[in-house]
Chains A and B, each alone.
Chain A
Amino acid sequence: MLDLDQGVPRPLPATNADTQAYWTGGERGELLIFRCADCEYYVHPPVAFCPKCESRKVAPSATSGKGVITSFTVNHKQWLPSLKVPYVVALVSIAEQEDVRLVSNIVHCEVDAVYIGMPVKVLFEENEDLWVPLFEPDVAL
């Protein structure tokens, strides 16, 4: 069973005013993605500029937290001494917009159950001051 714990602490990203919402929205259970208030396009990675309509009214917006696995890999290599393998790294497209692809780990299912096109939903793991978005199956297994 794919677990949240890989035996080593998760390396964490530096954050700034653009990326803070993504990495902390989980405190309220929200997957926050920047969205244009004028044309509703999701802008990721986050920046206060809409590449579709040039609006500057772009701000964090709660999504459904649902998505689909666009691609994934099962890592078998033990890169660090206490790293537990195998585990799954995936690119997840949010349900609202295919070209918003989030890197994540897939958890709470067997390794062999993961497939391209699999519906998934977000969960969050608190790490220091950040809430790291992870995904689990959104289908009956």
Chain B
Amino acid sequence: MNSASKYPEKNTAITGIGQSEISRGSSKTGLELTVDACMEAITNAGLSRADIDGIATWPGADYNASGFSPVGIPHIQDALRLELNWYSGAPEGPGQFAAIFDAIGAIAAGLCKHVLVFRTLTEATARKTAFANALMTSGQRDHGLFQWYSPYHTYAAAIQQAMYFQAYVHRSGIREEQYAQIALNGRRNAALNPKAVYRSPMSLEDYLASPMISTPIRMFDCDVPIDGSTAIIISRWDCAQDLPNKPIKIEAIGSSMAYRNSWTQLDALDTQAQPKVAEMMWSRTDLKPKDVDFAELYDGFSFHSINWLENFGFCERYGAGDFIDGGHNIALDGMLPINTNGGALSAGRMHAYGQVHEACLQLWRGAGERQIAKPLNVAALSTAGGPLAGAMLLTVD
């Protein structure tokens, strides 16, 4: 059995990327933003609409006013009049990367050659018209995912996740000026990214003066709601060879759920679901953490990036505080640049797909002023928090 049949992700490549305008409030609808991103990705891959034979998104349209996922497959399929062999917009999976991993499965199954993957959010506009982050509507009984939390005034994800991060702070002894470095690094990189929503300089003093949301999370530890859409094209390896972009191989994925998938009973509060997901990813490649040139780590909250630094093995368990101390190691010219476009904290909450887009730009050496100077062959990417986690390695020759 050759490696690509044992590990079908190695038989796939990212061949194109696209992204709409990213803003704190767009005059365009979610669907128009999605058209912008998808058409740019198809064109960037050197393809036309007729070449797209599969489509995937996460989590699929949620048909409410939250802006979390305003556009589903039916909307964009019809808008672009795509003719597809396969489609999937399933919310229950390894976080936001579920759509990418589903696309790999569809390609391995012989259903598709070129899969369009997209993620659209209009949370900036939603927040101007409603309290979109409320986990439930006042007066209704909660049937949802978070019903064990509902009587306890847990109105936002920040409160749930803060409890995991507090456990991490307790166990690791990480200091405030150390974990500030994730936000500071993001803002420093965002200054070099014309599409980032927050580009003005941030000092450690600015960070420490920002409002406490729910200990230990400050405002600048939280990602920034935006309106925008990101799209990528995943192609079967042999179909990726004659296209304009050098194929970016999906070298390995971590998609496991070998732990308790629960927002309260997860096995380890301080590491969340990440360790076994990272372990699965490394089991599918000969590459090691030392081979990774840069990383785009999920930063829905800054602590997610801190957790991933350890769980990927870039530093010792509970050693992330020392690793990021002063910010040098994770800066653009450091040993492991991270969140190079500013991340979700400063570029905006594209919900992991901003990181995928940025990793491809860096690997294709198209990142402009924020291009990492050293040669780049291997990128590590991660997503999600709590009981959800997904990870992958991208490589170019």
A residues touching B (Cβ–Cβ < 8 Å)?
Answer: 6, 8-15, 19, 44-45, 70-77, 79-80, 83, 87, 89-91, 99-105, 116, 127, 130, 132
Contacts and interface: CB of A to CB of B under 8 A. Distances in A.
Most buried by A among B136, B147, B164, B217: B147
Contacts of A72: 163, 166
Contact of B148 (A10, A80, A103): A103
A45 B265 contact: yes
A134 B164 CA distance: 20
A36 B212 CA distance: 42
B211 interface: yes
A71 B153 contact: no
A102 B147 CA distance: 12
A8 B155 CA distance: 12
A103 B163 CA distance: 10
Interface in B112-159: 131, 133-136, 138, 140-143, 147-156, 158-159
Contacts of B155: 79-80, 83
A103 B214 contact: no
Where chain B touches its partner, the secondary structure class is loop
A14 B147 contact: yes
A116 B165 CA distance: 12
Given A13-B141, A13-B142, A132 B166 contact: no
Contacts of B265: 44-45, 99-101
19 contacts: A11-B140, A11-B142, A13-B141, A13-B142, A14-B141, A70-B269, A73-B163, A73-B216, A73-B217, A74-B212, A74-B214, A74-B215, A76-B212, A77-B213, A79-B134, A80-B155, A89-B163, A103-B149, A116-B170
Contacts of A74: 212, 214-215
Contacts of B164: 71
A89 B213 CA distance: 13
B351 to A, nearest CB: 21
B151 A77 contact: no
Given A11-B136, A73-B214, A116-B167, A105 B156 contact: no
Contacts of B215: 73-74, 76
B123 to A, nearest CB: 16
Contact of A91 (B131, B170, B211, B269): B269
B264 interface: yes
Contacts of B158: 77
Nearest to B142: A13
Interface in B158-208: 158-159, 162-164, 166-167, 170
B163 A71 contact: yes
